Amino acid sequence: MWIGGNWVEAESGKTYPVYNPATELEVAQVPLGGKADVDKAVAAARKALPKWSTKSQAERSQLVLKLATLLRESAKEIGELDTLEHGTPAKRAVFLAADTPGWFEWAAYSAKSLMGHTLPASPETLIYLQREPVGVVAIITPWNLPLLMIFQKLGPALALGNTCVIKPPSINSLTALKLAEIIEKLELPPGTVNVITGPGGTVGEALAAHHDVDMVAFTGSSETGKAIMSLASGTVKRLQLELGGKNPAIILDDADVNAAANAMAKQQTNNSGQICGSPGRFYVHEKVYDEFLEKFTVAMKKFVMGDPLDPKTELGPLVSAQHRDRVEGYIQSAIDEGAKVILGGKRPTTPPMNKGYYVLPTIITGITPKMKVAREEIFGPVACFMQPFKSDEEVIALANDNVYGLTSWVWTTDMARGMRFANQIQAGTVGLGQGRGGGGPEFPWGGFKESGIGKEGSLYGMLEFTNLKRIAVDLVTPKKSV
């Protein structure tokens, strides 16, 4: 692990295996961290904070930009590690490794634009506001996009003067350790960035409860987010939580059905469905239901599933045997409750996919609002088709009838109608028309309700990593008392 500017073994002296999800073969052993390692990492981050936070913004931004450059130079190796431990198709893995350092570039430049403000008080008093780093930030990330999830948090946290302890996902930590290897080349105060590996039940909980951690930035399930909130409440930590989604995709009767079917199929299978922003519930108007379902099915069948190392592969395996079993459990629950699987729903049996954690692209129809697959996030290549709807008012109520509120899509050629939907849907993002909502660090991302707290990306996301201080200055020297 990378703690205090040094490579160290876990205090336990133990390691645990990392498996290739496409072959089920062990590819590495990583340190099994625990509470003692957390204490060391947090202490190192606390010690580095005065040195790092007092550097000029220009110095910090320059080092963050250098990190982006080094990451791009290592994109091929990082992409290979992503394919090895996560099963990301090779072509996509290399693209992500080369593209996602842009989060550091954006943060480096944007940090320079955060300015204070003066408030009018009186001719005798100056009141101004300034932004300061929060302090020691614990970054706890999920396994679905291992490096992107770290970059989205580390970029702004680091650029703005915070020090960080990164807890990557236990089942795919290799890319995070590679990141630490690259950070080692920078002239950062020792302890500015630390990477500690191990299970969330020990390392993650210890970070969330630690008295010397000032903020937790977390992406993951809503259940884990709630646990972090509870643990963090003991010290009233700052929280940035990007949690789950059960996102409605609404296809109105005037939609471009062909465009909607192809775009939504691509969204559903992105990263083998292991995306919090994937469609979770399809609501299709009764007039276009059959046409949309037919074209969506055709689109789903076109995606090539296979060996992630094959350049033709578009869909790789799920991340682990445990998660594959979880997704299959959701599919079975839908069958048990009366829904119908019309595509997929099984594991592929042809080599090389007879090994690994694969689940075929799946479509389930006849889903009613009370079914488990209608309420909970599946996180796989599984499209859930709700029963057809008749009216705008009906489908808006159905779309909002969920504990999540992350993102959504409304397909219509009538933008005035679409805007009425956008104003009433309870979600952090609504895509209208072709659904080409902006992506990247300059756009805010975050949901309502149990989908999280705060934003990632944009200046709104940058501000999450700062404290706002008010300073009042008496401009008039008080007269000496006689």
**284 and 352 share one domain:** yes
Give the whole-angstrom CA distance, residue 405 versus residue 430.
Answer: 10
**216 and 333 share one domain:** no
**416 and 317 share one domain:** yes
Q: CB neighbours of 129 closer than 8 A, spacing ≥ 6? A: 116, 117, 118, 119, 468, 469, 470, 471
pLDDT for residue 439: 75
For residue 455, is it within any domain? yes
How large is the average pLDDT for residues 350-358? 95
- The residue type found at 244 is G
Whether residue 479 is predicted with pLDDT greater than 80 in this model: the reply is no
Alpha-carbon distances of 113 from 61, 108, 157, 162, 458, rounded to whole Å: 11, 10, 15, 17, 12
**271 and 368 share one domain:** yes
Whether residue 404 is predicted with pLDDT greater than 90 in this model: the reply is yes
For residue 442, is it within any domain? no
- The proportion of the chain whose per-residue pLDDT surpasses 70, expressed as a percent, equals 99
pLDDT, tens digit, 9 for 90 and up, residues 292-312: 999 999 999 999 999 999 999
Asked if residue 30 lies in contact with residue 16, where contact means CB atoms within 8 angstroms, the answer is yes
Asked if residue 137 lies in contact with residue 215, where contact means CB atoms within 8 angstroms, the answer is yes
The CATH number that applies at residue 395 is: 3.40.309.10
**189 and 263 share one domain:** no
pLDDT, tens digit, 9 for 90 and up, residues 219-265: 999 999 999 999 999 999 999 999 999 999 999 999 999 999 999 99
pLDDT, tens digit, 9 for 90 and up, residues 152-208: 999 999 999 999 999 999 999 999 999 999 999 999 999 999 999 999 999 999 999
For residue 440, is it within any domain? no
**Number of domains comprising the chain:** 2
How large is the average pLDDT for residues 399-420? 97
**395 and 464 share one domain:** no
| Helix segments in 270-402, DSSP class H | 289-302, 321-336, 372-375, 392-400
Give the whole-angstrom CA distance, residue 365 versus residue 229.
Answer: 36
For residue 480, is it within any domain? no
Residue with tokens 């991340």: 319
**152 and 273 share one domain:** no
pLDDT for residue 434: 60
**235 and 251 share one domain:** no
pLDDT for residue 121: 86
**16 and 85 share one domain:** yes
**185 and 254 share one domain:** no
Residue with tokens 């496409």: 22
- The residue type found at 212 is D
Mean pLDDT of the chain: 96
pLDDT for residue 103: 96
Asked if residue 22 lies in contact with residue 192, where contact means CB atoms within 8 angstroms, the answer is no
pLDDT for residue 27: 96
pLDDT, tens digit, 9 for 90 and up, residues 275-292: 999 999 999 999 999 999
DSSP structure class, residue 30: E
Whether residue 368 is predicted with pLDDT greater than 70 in this model: the reply is yes
**30 and 170 share one domain:** yes
For 288, the token pair is: 């276009």
User: Measuring CA to CA, which residue among 167, 171, 106 is closest to residue 136?
Assistant: 167
Q: CB neighbours of 314 closer than 8 A, spacing ≥ 6? A: 89, 269, 303, 304, 305
For residue 168, is it within any domain? yes
For residue 66, is it within any domain? yes
Q: Rg of the chain over CA atoms, in angstroms? A: 24
pLDDT band at 400 (very low <50, low <70, confident <90, very high): very high
Q: Is 356 helix (H, G, I), strand (E, B) or coil?
A: coil
User: Measuring CA to CA, which residue among 305, 359, 299, 367 is closest to residue 335?
Assistant: 367
pLDDT band at 438 (very low <50, low <70, confident <90, very high): low
Residues involved in catalysis: 242, 276
How large is the average pLDDT for residues 35-61? 98
Residue 131 sits in which domain range? 2-243+451-470
How large is the average pLDDT for residues 45-55? 98
The CATH number that applies at residue 185 is: 3.40.605.10
**425 and 458 share one domain:** no
Whether residue 115 is predicted with pLDDT greater than 90 in this model: the reply is no
Give the whole-angstrom CA distance, residue 283 versus residue 410.
Answer: 10
Asked if residue 240 lies in contact with residue 454, where contact means CB atoms within 8 angstroms, the answer is yes
Give the whole-angstrom CA distance, residue 63 versus residue 44.
Answer: 19
Q: What angle do CA 440, 264, 337 make, to 5 degrees?
A: 120
How large is the average pLDDT for residues 447-452? 97
For residue 443, is it within any domain? no
Helix axes of 75-86 and 90-99: crossing angle, nearest 10 degrees: 130
| Helix segments in 54-145, DSSP class H | 57-73, 75-86, 90-99, 102-111
For residue 464, is it within any domain? yes
